[in-house]
Amino acid sequence: MRAALICLVAIVHREALRFVSQRGRFLAAIVRPLVWLIVFAAGFRAALGLSIQPPYQTYITYEIYIVPGLCGMVQLFSGMQSSLSLVYDREMGSMRLLLTSPIPRWWLLFCKLFASTAISIFQVYTFLAIAALTGISFSPAGYLAVLPALIVNGLMLGALGLLLSSTIRQLENFAGVMNFVIFPMFFLSTALYPLWKMAEASTILRDICAFNPFSHGVELIRFALYGQVDWMALLWVLVAFAIFLSGSLWGYDPSRSMVRRKA
């Protein structure tokens, strides 16, 4: 138990130091959603003519509607960037030493997930604070209630990043894979527009958005900011997290890598 706790603290401290040293990463994580919120929101609202009426039975502005989606975007990019460091650690050899330690492999990967989720939550709350300064705010209870949703969504997206990093052997290939995953996952979701608006364009696209686990993560955050729980979205996110984490454990199995090299 003590060794597991030391491992958790060490990995979190290492990831925190890496995040602090990469100031451009933090700046990009904040500027990116702010550009969508301030610049693109007005254009999307005018082009789509959206009049949002979510399950909260109150009309809201489009800027407030897309804030949960932008919070999910922050966590999506953060999870992918954290997994990028795993590819780098594998090339440098430190990841192999970590996985062959006496600590269980599942706990090592969970510590990595926990560290990346904590960093993403810090980035999300920083974004929410800046958004509040521009007049786009929620109730104090909403900011507190959204924390569990951010934890679950961050773990799910971090596990997805782990799964992708387990399949990539070269650092140069990861950037292309990130774009191939991030942009379809973000745009084919409810982050920017509701499902009923997507259904007006195409039923197939609407079904894709409904199946996308990122959509359910966004809805989980959206409901939580209003003090509610979307139980169906929570179930989808937990199922996706279990699938992604299981794939990551299989992908980072050192014995499987040895068998592949011998073959």
Q: Classify residue 160 by burial, with Cβ atoms within 10 Å: 0-12, 13-18, 19+.
A: buried
Give the per-residue pLDDT at 34: 83
Average pLDDT, the chain: 79
Dist. CA 217–CA 172, nearest whole Å: 29
| Out of 139-148, 216-225, 242-251, least confident range | 242-251
Dist. CA 158–CA 154, nearest whole Å: 6
Dist. CA 236–CA 205, nearest whole Å: 18
Closest by Cα among 85, 81, 71, 84 to 121: 71
Phi-psi region of 57 (alpha: psi -120 to 50; beta: other; left: phi over 0): left
Residue 105 CB coordination number (10 Å): 16
Q: What is the pLDDT of residues 223-260, one digit of tens each?
A: 999 888 899 999 999 999 999 988 888 877 766 553 34
Output the CA torsion sign for 52, 224, 71, 186: negative
> Is 153 or 84 the better-scoring residue by pLDDT?
153
Residue 166 CB coordination number (10 Å): 22
CA–centroid distance for 189 within its chain: 13
Residue 76 one-letter amino acid: L
Domain boundaries defined on the chain: 2-253
